[in-house]
Amino acid sequence: MKKLVLAYSGGLDTSYCAKYLSKDQGFEVHAVSVNTGGFSKEEIDSIHKKALELGATSYTSIDAVQTFYEKVVKYLIFGNVLKNNTYPLSVSAERIVQAIEIVNYAKKVGAKYIAHGSTGAGNDQVRFDMIFQIIAPEIEIITPIRDNKLAREAEIAYLKQNGVDYPWEKAKYSINRGLWGTSVGGEETLTSHKSLPDSAYPSQLQETEPKQLKLTFHKGELIALDGDNDTPVNNIVKLEAIASKYAIGRDIHVGDTIIGIKGRVGFEAPASLIIIKAHHLLEKHTLTKWQQYQKEQQGNFYGMLLHEGNYLDEVMRNIEAFLTDTQKNVSGDVFVSLHPYRFELDGISSSHDLMNASFGSYGEMNKGWTADDAKGFIKILSNSGKIYNHVNQNND
């Protein structure tokens, strides 16, 4: 039989692929899921059982949570990356790591084919295919959903015909959960005017009393919550558990897809939004004006390239080196207040805080220069404007 590795999540699309490729196409299907966060052992066990029931010869779960953080998430924090000032790249960031792990597994087991459940109308097809083609151009890529232009209703009908019950209510919303957030797609996100119902989001409001948290950063990484030191990954998970009870981090992102059409997706990402905003506030206090300006350009560029699947381009390593270097003084505490559906940044405390009172307080008192120093500085600063207006004073 033809050995094939299937990027398998247990959702509708990959369930269809597992059954179709093994039963109708005669492949020896080896299902592989890559855990980049959000899955318990019980859920992985359930996915394992389902893969075998659908016809897979084997199932493997690869734990890539730490890899995901070290290779991608860390730099999204350093760069304060929010696509279109909204979306923390929850899913697009995951897909890169998942694709690399899956293609490496396919090479390891000697598979000549590799498959995924992406449609022909989204970004994931580009991300998966690009990684696969760059790392293993000799492996043939199989994409049943894309090639056969299948609607979700057609996939459900096929599975039912083959003895697999997949209720429409379960397929109505496409949920992708991970360390850096959860995306939510449904019929509402296919329109420009409908909002997702409250019930579509994985987390519901449970806490209403305000709560203040202290986030401690060391060189840009989150090392503690409320003084309790732990790994950045564990701190992200803990913060997600706390903030999700306030239904924080919900929004709908509208952006330009890689294939040129507009796309709309809902998401729930309380930990990532709080961390990015808290980190950004700390940087405002600890970085120079021009560091912040250049970081904004590079962070946006990094996020765009990552979103569009260009992770393996060497320029990404160059930007990562730059972003890492900017973090050497980004250490301190950030105080955050949680409220139902929102959060507030209360302030920071850092030994690197550039709001050093010995040099003066903004709008109050200058201590590092005299009034004459200020007058002279302003006079010279205005020279270019004076010259332009003198030369062009007769212009309309």
Residue 396 lies in a domain: no
Structural element, H or E, at residue 285: helix 270-286
Q: Are residues 365 and 333 in the same domain?
A: no
For 137-165, what is each residue's pLDDT tens digit?
999 999 999 999 998 889 999 999 999 98
Residue 359 pLDDT greater than 70, yes or no: no
Q: For the chain, count helices (H), then strands (E).
A: 15, 16
For residue 20, the enclosing domain spans 2-176
For 287-346, what is each residue's pLDDT tens digit?
999 999 999 999 999 999 999 999 999 999 999 999 999 999 999 999 999 999 999 999
Q: What is residue 363's predicted lDDT score, i.e. its pLDDT?
A: 63
Q: Quote the Cα angle for 251-255-261, to 5°.
A: 135
The dihedral over CA atoms of 373, 376, 378, 382, expressed in degrees to the nearest 10, equals: -160
Count: domains in the chain: 3
Q: Are residues 171 and 248 in the same domain?
A: no
Q: What is residue 159's predicted lDDT score, i.e. its pLDDT?
A: 94
pTM of the model: 0.93
Place of tokens 């959060």: 343
Residue 345 lies in a domain: yes
Q: Are residues 91 and 191 in the same domain?
A: no
Whole-number Å distance between alpha carbons of 325 and 347: 24
Residue 395 lies in a domain: no
Residue 370 pLDDT greater than 90, yes or no: no
Q: Are residues 298 and 150 in the same domain?
A: no
Q: Are residues 188 and 137 in the same domain?
A: no
- How confident is the model over 28-40, as a mean pLDDT? 94
User: Pick from 130, 126, 131: which is nearest to 104 by CA?
Assistant: 131
Residue 212 lies in a domain: yes
For 170-209, what is each residue's pLDDT tens digit?
667 888 899 999 999 988 998 999 999 999 999 999 999 9
Residues in Cβ contact with 365 at an 8 Å cutoff, skipping those fewer than 6 apart = none
Q: Are residues 372 and 328 in the same domain?
A: no
Q: Are residues 60 and 131 in the same domain?
A: yes
Output the domain CATH number for residue 132: 3.40.50.620
For 236-292, what is each residue's pLDDT tens digit?
999 999 999 999 999 999 989 898 999 999 999 999 999 999 999 999 999 999 999
For 56-103, what is each residue's pLDDT tens digit?
999 999 999 999 999 999 999 999 999 999 999 998 899 999 999 999
SS (H, E, C) 123-164: CHHHHHHHHHHHHCCCCEEECHHHHHCCCHHHHHHHHHHCCC
Q: Are residues 141 and 197 in the same domain?
A: no
pLDDT above 90 as % of the chain: 84
Residue 103 lies in a domain: yes
Whole-number Å distance between alpha carbons of 140 and 136: 9
